[in-house]
Amino acid sequence: MSETAIITGAGSGLGRSTAVQLAEQGINIAVVDVDEEGGRETVEQVNKAGAEAIFVRADVSKLEDVKNYVNETVEQWGTIDYFFNNAGISGSGGYFLETDPEEIEKIVQINLMGALYGVRYVADVMVKNGGGAIVNTSSSAGVIGQDSVVTYSATKHGIIGLTKSMVAEYAKDGLRVNAIAPGPTETPMVKSYFEANPKMKESAEKGIPQQRLGTPEEVAELVTFLLTSKADYINGEVVRIDGGFTNTKS
């Protein structure tokens, strides 16, 4: 029986790259994204890589949408083995005291509440079926403080708390939950952020000891490793993948 993964934010970037790499291992993918065009393009790439895929449109900040992507995956394949809890937004990049409350709420709802909802309903299926593996997307801003991303940073610190506490409660039930903390990476979200804040890109590149941004494929390799049985005894960890960026600051 083929294994199955759900990936949120799978219409581009880290989600898409991970979907393709898991598909190359024969793992079926539920592609979840609010962007239908991007999501369906990912489905095509998964199919080309040799696995089955479905697209489920979802706004992860909405509880009913989260329940629906979980239900559709189970209806299609009967179980959920892996979950890359990845959907998120960065925000406008303004300083916190200049940020509208509406933007603060939107970032929190998508990045933190969306992740909490996802783990709540995916892990419920996994535990009932004997276990599974989850990777949550945190950030370099989830392990250190960074300016211009206060709300984003708060949500990504929250992702780490979610990761560690789920392990404390459910590792005994066969659940593995880890988090990744990417530094600046060449994803559409990061590119858009840097286009709106060009000084931030220059600052980020200078602050990375390896003197370059990461690639989605590099991050996807880490996620794929953490999800699969090769990482079976890694649990509750936050793995930084940032070219040494946070190593120089903490």
This prediction has a pTM of 0.94
CB burial class (10 A; 0-12, 13-18, 19+) of residue 211? exposed
> Domain spans of the chain?
4-248
Q: Along the 250 residues of the chain, how does pLDDT read in single tens digits?
A: 689 999 999 999 999 999 999 999 999 999 999 999 999 999 999 999 999 999 999 999 999 999 999 999 999 999 999 999 999 999 988 899 999 999 999 999 999 999 999 999 999 999 999 999 999 999 999 999 988 899 999 999 999 999 999 999 999 999 999 999 999 888 877 777 777 767 667 767 778 999 888 999 999 999 999 999 999 999 999 999 999 999 877 5
- φ/ψ (deg, to 5) at 18: -70, -40
Kindly give, in sequence order, each residue whose CB lies less than 8 Å from that of residue 68, ignoring residues fewer than 6 positions away: 56, 58
Q: Select the CATH number that applies to the domain covering 4-248 from these four: 2.60.40.10, 1.10.357.10, 3.30.2420.10, 3.40.50.720.
A: 3.40.50.720
| Given 69, 117, 121, 152, the catalytic residue | 152
Q: What six digits make up the tokens of 88?
A: 């998120």
Measured between alpha carbons, how far is 241 from 185 in angstroms, rounded to an integer?
9
Contact 242, 181 (CB under 8 A): yes
Instruction: Output the CA angle 206-210-211, nearest 5 degrees.
Output: 35
Has 69 been annotated as catalytic? no
Going across the sheet that includes 4-8, the strands are: 53-57, 28-33, 4-8, 82-85, 132-137, 175-182, 238-241
